[in-house]
Structure 1
Amino acid sequence: MEVELKLLLAPEHNEQLLHHPLLGAPARVQQLAARYFDTPDLHLLCHGAGLRVRKVDGVWIQTMKAGGSVQSGLHSRNEWEGPVDRAWPRLGKLRKLIGDDAQWLSVLDTPNLKDRLEPLFLVDVQRHLWELESEGNRIEVALDVGHIERKGQQVPVNEIELELKDGDPAGLYTFALQLLEDIPLRISNINKAQRGYMLVRETGYAPFRAQPLALDADISLSEALPAVLGNCLEHIQRNETAVVDGNDPETLHQMRVGVRRLRSALKLFDAVAPCPPELLEDVRWLGEQLGAARDWDVLLASTLSRIGAQPDGGNGMMAVQALALDTAQAKRREAAQAVLSPRYTKLMLTMGAWMLQTAPLLDGTAADFSRQTLQQLHKSLLKRARRMREDDPASAHHTRIAAKRGRYALEFFHGLHRARSVRAYLKTLAAVQEELGQHNDLAVAGHLLQTLAERHPESTGAIQFARGYLTAQQATQSADLDDIRDRLRALRLPPSKH
């Protein structure tokens, strides 16, 4: 199993890295040109595998990487590598390397794979290579500078790979944090092969949504914690590039949801694995940065567009929308800068290290922990629901938060409970969260419009018209709190599989 941490840096910082005291002796330099192979229908990619052949010191080396995971930038993948006599794959030799691993042998046994393989893209880099010891860990450090090419189209490569040769994976985070003290870095959650496939498929950076987490029924708590937190971190990090380089509001929304899921997960584990306060503060900071931009996106996309569509809503609303758009774009730029900041990189590296160091200390089964935790959250939800009052908007907000925490917790641990009951429970909580959330969105929109009026007094009339419309909406579209209470009281927690 190959374990790597991938980091991006700007080309202007390459010299600083090359002469960094942590790296010691001068680097060994290699020129590496690797061709990646797959079928026209991307058979290997569809099965989570990548196959390349590249020349290293005059020898052709064939490598297949497959499966594994990425958690907070830490790439763990199966790897089979060996010499071949040509610049084209030798599937027979690859099968011998794989041995008796039926899953990956079956991927290679698809009909006519040998004849259907073709080179899809080229990764051409100059590699500076160091091998060093750091706090008892043996680490290979590589700086790759070059490009990925597909039919004349190129994307640049300028990244560091920290590969663990021997020792504790958390040591990669520690070493990266030491580099971060002197050099601005970003974690990379996609590898060169994935970037090459993006050229092949001509895909941009689409929104990345939370992936289902299928925990085994007998999984230990020490295994469940990194699985749950890693799932949240993947949700956050796979939207990074789109938030920085793109303009799709949904990518920012998904990244913010990822942060919310992470905060909920950290609260779930707080009794057995309390997160350091400074780390929690950085998570809260990230949520605030993304949340400020998301609130303005919601105001533009739903609230103001509805007002403008009303028969009497056109008077001055175009100007209000333009002002809100300017603010939304500014907030999005601020969110992008937060993602690019050293504070964000430090947060992700520190979270990864804490997660790996904390998980082995936990005892017990995830099933017992899930059952106890869900019972506590269910009681808290019913308590919040009983306290809801029409004249107290905060009480409905607290119930919505409790419903969200319960939903996230069951989504994390759904594999430990009976599927039919899980679906019914999640459906009810999602509906309650949506109904109470609509009221909250209107309240947030009113606050944002008040801020806009203070900054742009020349548009006060149109803005106050919009605020009046929202006040009327809140009065006429308030959630039926009695109905919500009845539905929550009727809920039964899903039984566990054991």
Structure 2
Amino acid sequence: MPKEIELKLTLPANCIKYLHHLPLLDALSISKPAKQKLHTIYYDTPDLALKKQHCALRLRRIGKHWIQTIKTEGSVASGLHERDEWEVAVTTNQLDFTQLSDPKLIKLLSHSNLSKQLQQIFITEFTRYTRILQMSDGSQIEFCLDHGKISVDHTKEPFTEVELELKSGKPVQLFQLALALEQALPFPVRLENISKAERGYILYTGQNIPPVKALPVVLKADMDLVTVFILIAQNCLDQLTRNEHGVLAGNDIEYLHQMRVALRRLRSAFDVFSTVIVNKAPIVHELKWLTRQLNPARNWDVFVTEQISQIHHIFAKHAGIAALIKTCEVLRKKHNKAARNSIRSKRYTELILKLNLWLDEVLEYSTRSHSLKSTAKIALSEFTGSLLTNHHQQILRVGKEIEKLDATSLHALRISIKKQRYAMEFLQTLYSPEKVKKYIRSLSELQDILGAINDSANTQKLLEEIPSSKTKALMSREAIGIIVGWNRLHLEQKKAELKRTLLPFYDTPLFWEVY
């Protein structure tokens, strides 16, 4: 079964001439550059039956020839696309399923009702510049620079992107080449996690791909710790990068929330496996940088869409609160724009590429004893019990002092609970699903309460960011007073709720100790 492995990069439209004369490409090229005009028609049913089956069907005209291609769902992370692909030459611009050999595709596409309903959904038209590159290790990569548009009826969306398709060798060389390109180019380059087909469907439906939440990591008890760490890190990286497009589109705050969750999970993975991995400091430093870039936008999202909106519902006729909301919305948009700029930056792209390369190095060196800490050789089954128990006991010790905890200590407790929850989610496939679900639910309840307390603690800091010129009026000062008073009451209520919720947690059975 043919498998396509490629890395996609999005670039500014004015970069084409620059790329044609890039010394890096000339040095690596083992073929003369070729130019093609490509006209591609994508098909589906009116209710998008193929899309629902994660299948893309297209006819592509190259010169006088037509190629029919079917792609099925694969994996996408950090711009790296891996999926199954079938291509056959057809004589005309008509679909032909007679040459199919895969039983599942035959069953799907030979269904009379489906085949009769197939229609043109969107078209891509672009110029492709191609050359074959050879990397230092012998891996060969097809470099394709595509510039054109996606069309749905009279709506058009331009694009300029580079596809790096692995022809032979190691997939990691795609990241190596992408990093070399990123460093050689004077303009920002962004890893693209959405294919042309997916962008066409977004244009056709007017609906973006939904926010991507964390998926379970399938682990086995006999796995070594390095393998486990890499699987978890790749899982977090997948969640992080697949939410980029939604953040950049800027129409749903949930995408940014999921990127922050992915970052917290990834940093927790580094903490959990800190005794295993080496040479991690540069990567951790950059993950902290990215966290700092996204935090203000998320804090203002919560403040405006959750906290102030609740107060406005109660004081709907208060002019000062309505005016303050408008001011806060301006600040929220400012911080969201800053977050988007960070994601578009060269530093962000370098972080993602270097993290992928670093993970490959960790995997490659995992069999070399001198490259690993001795704890890396411990089996997963020996590692998890003490880890989860130690974290659980730490939460209990701090929880017993709940009456004495200030805002900083409560925040630290929240972080401890969050790390325990992520650790359990990482390891959940090793244990009873029912017991895991119950334990995670108890942690989530505590985390939600402490999250609300943390949001309340942040309120005063966010109010202080509002320019004094906006708060001089009597109505504005009164509005801030209402928010501060409501916030204090809310804070006390949540602290009382925290005490009640902690009580049953003390009796939680440590089911992993009998693993």
- Offset at residue 440 of structure 1 (A): 1.1
- Report the TM-score when normalising by structure 2: 0.87
- Cα separation, partners in 2 of 1:424 and 1:323, compared to 1, 3 Å: same
Provide the aligned length of Structure 1 versus Structure 2. 492
Query: In the alignment, is residue 258 of structure 1 matched against residue 262 of structure 2?
Result: yes
Identity of aligned residues (%): 32
Distance in structure 2 (CA, Å) of the matches to 1:455 and 1:281: 37
Instruction: Please list, as runs of the form range in 1=range in 2, the aligned pairs for 1:104-253 lying within 5 A after superposition.
Output: 104=105, 106-108=107-109, 110=111, 112-136=113-137, 137-183=139-185, 184-203=188-207, 205=208, 207-215=210-218, 217=220, 220-221=223-224, 224-253=228-257
**Gap runs ≥5 in structure 1:** none
Q: Deviations over 1:87-127 (max 9, x none)?
A: 233223122xx4xxx55555445454443333322221110
| Paired letter, 2:308 | L
Letter in 2 for 1:483: R
1:438 alignment partner in structure 2:
452
> 2:76 maps to what in 1?
70
Alignment partner, residue 307 of structure 1: 311
Secondary structure of 2:22 counterpart: coil
The answer as to 2:326 corresponding to 1:322 is: yes
Shift of 1:31: 1.1
Change (3 A) 1:267 1:156: same
Q: 1:487 aligns with which of 487, 493, 504?
A: 504
1:315-342 per-residue CA deviation (whole Å, 9 max, x = no partner) reads 6223322222221111111111111111
Of 408-417 and 73-82, deviating more is 408-417
Q: Which amino acid aligns with 2:463?
A: L
Q: Deviations over 1:241-297 (max 9, x none)?
A: 332232432332222222222222232233222462222122111111111011112
Q: Distance in 2 between matches of 1:166 and 1:497?
A: 47
SS at 1:64 equivalent:
strand
- Mapped contact 2:4–2:85 kept (Cα < 8 A): yes
Range with greater deviation from structure 2 (407-416 or 467-476)? 467-476
Contact 1:177 1:346 in 2 (8 A): yes
Letter in 1 for 2:258: Q
Aligned-partner Cα distance in 2 for 1:129–1:247: 35
TM superposition shift of 1:465: 4.4
Asked if 1:336 corresponds to 2:353, the answer is no
* Gap change, CA 1:157 and 1:391, over 3 Å in 2: closer
Structure 1 stretch displaced more, 111-120 or 215-224: 215-224
Change (3 A) 1:226 1:94: farther
Cα gap change, 1:87/1:218 in structure 2, threshold over 3 Å: closer, same or farther? farther
Q: CA deviation at 1:495?
A: 4.4
Matched, 1:2 2:19: no
| Amino acid across the alignment from 1:82 | V
Q: 1:273 to 1:155 in 2, by over 3 A?
A: same
1:180 deviates by: 1.0
Range that drifts further, 79-88 or 419-428: 79-88
1:451 has 2:465 as partner:
yes
TM-score using structure 1 length = 0.90
* 1:380 corresponds to 2:386: no
2:371 aligned residue = none
Where in structure 2 are the equivalents of 1:337-352 lying within 5 Å?
A: 337-352=341-356
| AA matched with 2:165 | E
- The residue correspondences of 1:19-98 to structure 2 (distance < 5 A) are 19-24=21-26, 27-95=33-101, 98=102
Secondary structure at the aligned position of 2:453 is classed as helix
Moved more, 134-143 or 388-397: 388-397
Distance in 1 (alpha carbons) for counterparts of 2:514 and 2:71: 34
Rounded to whole Å, the distance in 2 between the matches of 1:88 and 1:375 is: 63
SS at 2:25's partner residue? coil
SS at match of 2:170: coil
- Amino acid paired to 1:176: A
Which whole-Å CA distance do the structure 2 matches of 1:129 and 1:377 have between them? Answer: 53
Distance in 2 (alpha carbons) for counterparts of 1:228 and 1:397: 25
CA contact (8 A) 1:421 1:495 kept: no
Amino acid at match of 1:208: P
- Taking the aligned partners of 1:330 and 1:140, their CA distance within structure 2 comes to 40
> Hey, what's the Cα distance between the residues in 2 that align with 1:386 and 1:284?
31
**Is 2:14 the partner of 1:12?**
yes
Query: Would the alpha carbon gap of residues 64 and 371 (structure 1) be closer, same or farther in structure 2, given more than 3 Å must change?
Result: farther
User: Quick check: 1:384–1:402 contact (8 Å CA) kept in 2?
Assistant: no
CA drift of 1:446 comes to 1.6
Structure 2 counterpart of 1:478, one-letter code: K
Conservation of the 8 A alpha-carbon contact between 2:446 and 2:502: no
Please give the secondary structure, in 2, of the residue aligned with 1:2.
Answer: strand
- Structure 1 residues 320, 311: CA separation in 2 closer, same or farther (over 3 Å shift)? closer
Q: Does 1:415 align with 2:421?
A: no
Please give the per-residue CA displacement for 1:180-236, whole angstroms capped at 9, x wherever unaligned. 113220010010111112233231x35513142251546845554444223322322
Asked if the contact 2:37/2:127 (under 8 Å) is kept, the reply is: yes
| Structure 1 match to 2:477 | 461
CA distance in structure 2 between the partners assigned to 1:110 and 1:494 by the alignment = 49
1:353 is matched with which residue? 357
Q: Note closer, same or farther for the CA distance 1:33–1:422 as it changes in structure 2 (3 Å cut).
A: same
Distance 1:152 1:365 in 2: 59
Residues 147-182 of structure 1 deviation map (CA, whole Å, 9 limit, x = unaligned): 112223221121000111122211111111111113
Letter in 2 for 1:375: T
Summarize the Cα distance change of 1:372–1:360 in structure 2 as closer, same or farther, 3 Å threshold: farther
